[in-house]
Amino acid sequence: MVFRKSVRYRFGDIDDAGIGYYPTLLHYFHCCFEDWWSDALGTPYPTVLHEEKLGFPAVNLDVDFLSPVRYGDEPEICLTIVKLGTTSVQFGIWMENEGRVMCRARITTVAVDMDTMAKRELPESWRKRLTPLVDPDAYPA
C-alpha cells in the first residue's frame, strides 16, 4: 500500500541555487511519515509516542536526489513499508511530480521504548496492522 500526500514548495523551501534545499526534502518525508500514522493508520504519531511509549527513530538513511525540486512545484510524497523486521521498520519514501521521481529514500527505523530509548520488539498489535501494508515492489527502483 502506498500512502500519498501533496506538498507545495514555497520560497523558504528553496536554496540560493533555486532548487529544493535538501534538509527540507527530508523534513517533508518526515511530515509524510507523521501524517501516515493518523491518516492511514488512524492513530496520531504523538499518541504512539506518548501513550504507547513506542518510537521509531531513524537509524539509517539511504537517499537519492534524482531531479531538482523548484519553487512552486507541487509534488506528492509517497510512503510504503519496504521491510518489517522484529525490531525495525524500513520505509520507502519518495517524491514525484507528474510521474517523475525526484527524490527517494529508504529510511530504516528501530522500535524503541520512549522512556528508556532502548530497542524493543515491535508490539504484536502493530505487527498485525503493519504486515498487510508491506509492499517492497511499490518503491521505485
pLDDT score of 141 more than 90: no
The per-residue pLDDT for 65 is 95
Band (30; pLDDT cuts 50, 70, 90) = very high
Query: Is 141 a domain residue?
Result: no
Which letter does DSSP use for residue 33 in this model? H
Q: In whole angstroms, what is the distance from residue 97 CA to residue 62 CA?
A: 20
Q: In whole angstroms, what is the distance from residue 54 CA to residue 43 CA?
A: 12
The domain total for the chain is 1
**Which residues does 39 contact at the CB level (< 8 Å), separation at least 6?**
3, 5
Query: Is 105 a domain residue?
Result: yes
The arithmetic mean of pLDDT across residues 21-25, rounded, is: 92
Domain that holds residue 17: 3-136
Copy the grid coordinates of residue 38: 493518523
pLDDT score of 88 more than 90: yes
CATH number for the domain harbouring residue 9: 3.10.129.10
